[in-house]
Structure 1
């Protein structure tokens, strides 16, 4: 089992013990984060970015790590999230394997990883850990919280639990509760991992690693991250040039199959399977409605913000557009100047990672107006 820690990460030690929402506590836990820009003397120009399931804290190049980050096109001097103006903090999710404490981390006083001894993980735990980083940096109130995908859930949990923590919020392809379709997809992903014999009840090694299960889980995820429109436009029915070998009559035949296989193989050894299981399940459990007698709109209306923008892609099947519209309506009911921005991107849930021609102007315009 391996942690995949990006160069240049900084670490914040969480309070010990760090209580978890669903029971148990972590001892000597930490959270990885990175920063860009300069915190103003008034400490009023801070933006917090909370991420999706797989990204690390390295959203963009910085002095500690000049390599391009996963949101390089959006974050930096003169970009949509302008680090000449804003002090930006990006936090790696608690439970991840990218520097923060998670199932792949060694237990305190041991070289043995937590594996399934890690406490049940919730979105709210990740929100509490991110807030602790913000407080440690001396920030009392954020200018904005930006959450993408799972990070959209984390952002809402943070804002709900901490009234007044931020002036504004950008929720990108997020949701206030997991829907049945998304739960079903993630359930199949987790099942693919758990049914791999090498998963071995979570007790695997780098030498005996559940690669087949992770490949299947990642392929299923990638299919839902993009749209049928994009799959058709990129690959159509184009076949691979080489014939299938006789010993593999049902092997890869179409270019789209080859793309999924290559994508999955690049991912499987870069993310820990147990961390994947824990983070995936935390999304299924998340439901802001539990704080308002089952009424998600009422829960959203308790969040206090000055301004909010909720962005979604019309082709997103994993976090469908009605979920972003629901967030925008709920935040508006709570008194925020709330903007809903549906973008006609063909690239589905992952559009915010690739369709910068559409997402850049929306984010830039909102932040320029703060």
Structure 2
């Protein structure tokens, strides 16, 4: 039997061995860079001696700086949510942001960042450690969603924005937006969280685990130290294929592909044969060298550990404060901070502190912990869920709305969309998702 798909992978391998490494900064261009020379202590005790946050903006900040909206991205998202003069390529939310659109840049000043841990300008595993002159790779500290949000608020401080008109995000961005509203309630005027959760559930954790295992099984992964060699493109391709299955829905694929084959007049093949297989192969191939493998590991793990419960938030804050106290004035010196093995730890050596709940806890105790975690989030809130979403099922968005209401937020609006696009509905359904967002942001009551 012929295996043309394996032949293509082997050819790609030979090309990579002869060619240069991917340069992720060229995938997204035209962003601004906020450089923070103040050491950044992460929730799990690691320290970044300095930090860059890539961001892009649209619209104008008004005189009292009260019209800013912060857009939070999903796992592999960049700051390029909308085209502009420095980068005319369509952004990932191009049809949602702009004059007169759902997020109206005639009214609002819109900011979007690449999260720390990413590879599109913000400090991540691909960045150079200033203490060693080498890329961090898997010496990069483990991150949390809370860390990402704290880095974003440092950017807001730099921009002179004390209070946001709104915090808006979908998927992992919805986790960030909820986190921002709960941890910085005095700085967030409105909350929009779409296709997200208050805590990651076992099903989504399992799916992301499978992706990471596929990636790390690639012989070119080399425990994350692959930057001077061949990229783990096969593992990344497999990981992306698994992810793509979770982003869309069966009803959509039934309509788009059905059981049609690429070449129905040919014998069946073990390589991509059905149209759905060719779609997955194309999507994963296109992605496998456009995003850093280590970033996928770190950012997806941060998603797994997300839990807005009060006990988890307090425990993370205590760990961070303890690490900062231990380091003391040494944090002011980059070399001293990163010479300490407790600062720049390998991902395999970092403490596996509990960020979930004990099995001994009852469901009511878990719910009360979640309610306590959002007790300060009283701002007008829009929660959107999608019935066909298998990655973040609607029960998780219902849980967000419920805990906010039980915590005393009387201004929670919950919509459940009957769309067939699955998790990616927030990228596709401009009419329904866009209208809901626009109405919430512009409501004056």
**TM bucket by the smaller chain?**
over 0.9
1:126 aligned to which of 145, 148, 160: 148
Mapped to 2, the partners of 1:225 and 1:299 lie a distance apart of 31
Shift of 1:354: 1.0
* Uncovered stretches (5+) of structure 2, i.e. residues with no partner: 1-20, 315-364
Matches within 5 A, 1:329-348: 329-333=402-406, 334-348=408-422
Mark the structure with the bigger radius of gyration. 2
Residue 253 of structure 1 corresponds to which residue in structure 2? Answer: 273
Range moving further from structure 2, 233-242 or 198-207: 198-207
Tell whether 2:306 aligns with 1:306: no
Deviates more, 1:329-338 or 1:354-363: 329-338
Corresponding residue SS for 2:299: helix
Rounded to whole Å, the distance in 2 between the matches of 1:189 and 1:301 is 31
SS at match of 2:179: helix
Q: TM-score normalized by structure 1?
A: 0.95
CA change 1:296–1:261 in 2 (3 A) is farther
| CA-to-aligned-CA distance 1:2-39 (integer Å, 9 cap, x gap) | 55232211111235211000011101211100111111
- Give the CA deviation at 1:320: 0.8
Higher RCO structure, 1 or 2 (CA under 8 Å, sep 6+): 2
Instruction: Note the alpha carbon deviations across 1:66-104, whole angstroms, 9 max, x for none.
Output: 221000000001111000000011011110001100001
Q: Deviations over 1:24-71 (max 9, x none)?
A: 110121110011111110111110011101110010012322221000
SS in 1 for 2:416: strand
Displacement of 1:296 after TM fit? 4.7
Q: Structure 1: any 5+ residue segments left out of the alignment?
A: none
Deviation string 1:91-141 (CA, Å, 9 cap, x unpaired) is 111100011000011111554210000011111110100111111111111
C-alpha spacing 1:146/1:3, structure 2 compared with 1 (3 Å)? farther
In the alignment, which of 162, 165, 168 is matched to residue 140 of structure 1? 162
Tell me, in whole angstroms, the C-alpha distance in 1 between the residues paired with 2:380 and 2:424: 25
How many residue pairs get aligned? The number is 368
Backbone CA RMSD of aligned residues: 1.8
Measure how far apart 1:230 and its partner are: 0.9
Q: Note the 1:81-120 alignment, pairs <5 A.
A: 81-120=103-142
Q: Give the match for residue 353 of structure 2.
A: none
User: 1:230-309 to 2 correspondence within 5 Å?
Assistant: 230-241=252-263, 249-289=269-309, 290-291=312-313, 294=366, 295-309=368-382
CA shift, 1:192, in A, is 0.2
Native 8 Å contact 2:185 2:379 kept in 1: no
Alpha-carbon offset, residue 206 of structure 1: 6.7
Match of 2:388 in 1: 315
Give 2:204's aligned residue.
182
Q: TM-score, normalised by structure 2?
A: 0.79
Tell me if the contact between 1:80 and 1:361 (Cα under 8 Å) persists in the aligned partners: yes
Does structure 1 retain, via aligned residues, the 8 Å contact 2:180–2:188? no
1:157-197 deviation digits (Å, cap 9, x = unpaired): 22222231111100011111100000000000000001111
| Offset at residue 297 of structure 1 (A) | 3.5
Matches within 5 A, 1:351-362: 351-362=425-436
